[in-house]
Amino acid sequence: MANVDYSKYAKLSPFELKDELIALAQSKTDRIMLNAGRGNPNFLATVPRRAFFQLGLFSATESEFSFSYMPEGLGGYPRPVGLQQRFDHFVLENRDKPGVVFLGKAVSYVRDQLGLDADAFLLEMVEGILGCNYPVPDRMLRISESIVKEYILREMGVQGMPKESLDLFAVEGGTAAMAYIFNSLKENKLIDYGNKIAIGVPVFTPYLEIPELNDYQLEEVLIHADPNMGWQYPESELRKLEDPDIKAFFLVNPSNPPSVKMSDEGLAVLADIVKKRPDLIILTDDVYGTFADNFKSLFAICPENTILVYSFSKYFGATGWRLGVIATAKENILDKKIAALSKKDKDDLEKRYGSLTTDPASIKFIDRLVADSRNVALNHTAGLSTPQQVQMVLFSLFNMMDSRQDYKKAVKSVVRERDATLYRQLGVDIPQDPNSVDYYTLINLENTSRQLYGDEFADWVMKTKNPTELLFRVADETGVVLLPGSGFGVQHPSARASLANLNEYQYAAIGDSLRRFAEESYQEYLQIVKKK
C-alpha cells in the first residue's frame, strides 16, 4: 500500500470517499468490515414497536367488526361506539404482552397526565394505524400533534412555552425537513439567490452542499467551532452573525460530527445577537438533542427566530421509519417577514398559494411548508402517512412515560462506553466534556500523536503524513472504515467515527488498529531521526 497514489481521492465528496473506503475495507474476504462511518445506530427502541404491531392487530379486528357481514379480508372504518371498552378488554386479555401493557398505560397517560380526550386519542390511533384516510389535518393529526409537542418541548429544554404557542409539521425524517425548509424559504423570498447565509461548522455535509446548489447559489459564511474550546463556537465567530447581510444561520446542535451541544455561554451570546438582529432566521437541526444531558435548543432561547428540526431516526433507532418534525412558534419572524415583503413579491405569492384559500396572505409559513412539499397543487393530499404518525406518537409517549428515563440512560451509556473503549485502546485520555454527547467522535491526528509520543513526533506527523492516506491504510489493512473530518468542514486532520453503529469490541479493534499505525509511524520517525 505504501506506494499507492492517494491523491486521486482528494477530490472525492465525503460520500464518494466513504464508498472507496468501504470497497477497500471489503476487498479482503477473510475478515468483516467495520464501518464506523455510518450514523445509523445499531440499537433501537423495541417496546413502542411492539405496541405499534399490537395496536395494528387490534385495529384490524376493529375494522372487521364494523361490517355486519364479513367476507374474508374486507373491513370498514373502525366504529367509535364502544371502542374504549373493546380496547380495555383487549388489554386485559393480552396483559402478558409487553407491547399491549404499554398501550394500555399509554391511553391512561394521555388521559391522566396529558389531559387529552382518551376516546378521541384511541380513535385517532386506530384509524391512523389502519391508514384508511388521508392525513387530516395535513400538517399533522390533531392529538398526535399535541402529544409530540409535549415531547419536543420537554426534550428540547423549552420552559414556559404553552403547547398552544407552537406548530408542528410531521415529515419524512430530518432529511425531508431540510429539503422542505430550504425550498419554502426560497419560494417565499425569505432567502434569495446570492444571499449570505451562515453555517456552523463542522457540520453534516448536506448543509454545506445544498446552499451551493444551482437552485440556491447562496454565499456561505462559515461559523467555525473551535477544537481547543471543546468544539464550542467562540464568541468572535458567533458575532459574525451581527452582519445584517446574513439572512439565516443554519446549525446542527448537538453538532455532527464533533457531537457537542452548544454551551450555555454560546446560547447567551446568541440570545444577545438576536436582540440586535431580530430579523435573523435560525434553522437548528436538533436530531441529537435527546442524547445530551440537560439539552437546551436555540428554539428555547429565541423561538420567534427559530425553525427547529427534530428526527426520531437516531434516538429510537428508526432511520427506516422516516420520522421527523419541523417546529415553529406561532409568533415568528418568518410570518412577519412574509407580511413585510414588497408588493410585487406578495402578489407573486398570492398567485402561488391562491388555490388554497381566498386569503393566501394569511397562510402561515409552516402551512406554506406543507403546501410546498406537494407543489401547492397537491396540498390536499400532503402530510406524513398516518401509520408513521402513530409510530411517532408511540415513540414520544414511550420516552415521556419512562419516568426513570431508563431508555435514555441506556442509549447514552452505550455510546459513552464505546467512546471510552476506543480511546482506552488507542492509549490516550478519554475526552471529558459536560457538553459532549458522544454520538460521534473526532480523533484528532495531531493531539493523538502528541499524547502518544510527544511534541516532536506530532510535528513530524503533521508535516509528513497525509490524513486521508491514513484512513485508506486503516481501511485496507484492518477493514475499519472511518471518515475524514475534513469532509465535514473540520480544519484539523482528523478521523470521524460514529459511536452508534458498531459493538463495543469493534471499537476496541478500531482503537487497536489506530494505535498500531501510530507505533509504526513512530518507528519510521525514529529511523529518520537516527539517520540525521
Ligand X SMILES: *Cc1c(COP(=O)(O)O)cnc(C)c1O
Interface positions with ligand X (CB under 6 A): 39, 173-175, 204, 252, 256, 285, 287, 311, 313-314, 319, 324
Of the pair 9, 316, the CB lying nearest ligand X is at 316
Closest approach of ligand X to the CB of residue 252, in Å:
4
CA–CA distance from 403 to each of 109, 398, 399, 400, 407 (Å)? 12, 10, 8, 7, 10
Of the pair 40, 362, the CB lying nearest ligand X is at 40
SS3 assignment for 191-237? CCCCCEEEEEECCCCHHHHHHHCCCCCCEEEEEECEHHHCCECCHHH
Closest approach of ligand X to the CB of residue 152, in Å:
14
Burial label for 342, CB within 10 Å (0-12, 13-18, 19+), is exposed
Of the pair 253, 506, the CB lying nearest ligand X is at 253
Neighbours of 59 (CB within 10 A): 25
How far apart (Å, rounded) are the C-alpha atoms in residues 374 and 141?
18
How far apart (Å, rounded) are the C-alpha atoms in residues 511 and 521?
15
Beta 246-252 vs 196-201: how paired, if at all?
Answer: parallel
Of the pair 478, 486, the CB lying nearest ligand X is at 486
Of the pair 37, 174, the CB lying nearest ligand X is at 174
Of the pair 104, 174, the CB lying nearest ligand X is at 174
Q: Which grid coordinates are listed for 460? A: 513530524
Of the pair 128, 173, the CB lying nearest ligand X is at 173
Closest approach of ligand X to the CB of residue 205, in Å:
10
Kindly state the DSSP code that residue 82 receives in the 8-state scheme: T
Closest approach of ligand X to the CB of residue 76, in Å:
34
Closest approach of ligand X to the CB of residue 296, in Å:
17
SS3 assignment for 258-273? CCECCCHHHHHHHHHH
Closest approach of ligand X to the CB of residue 503, in Å:
20
Of the pair 182, 204, the CB lying nearest ligand X is at 204
Closest approach of ligand X to the CB of residue 177, in Å:
7
Q: Which grid coordinates are listed for 365? A: 409559513
Closest approach of ligand X to the CB of residue 308, in Å:
12
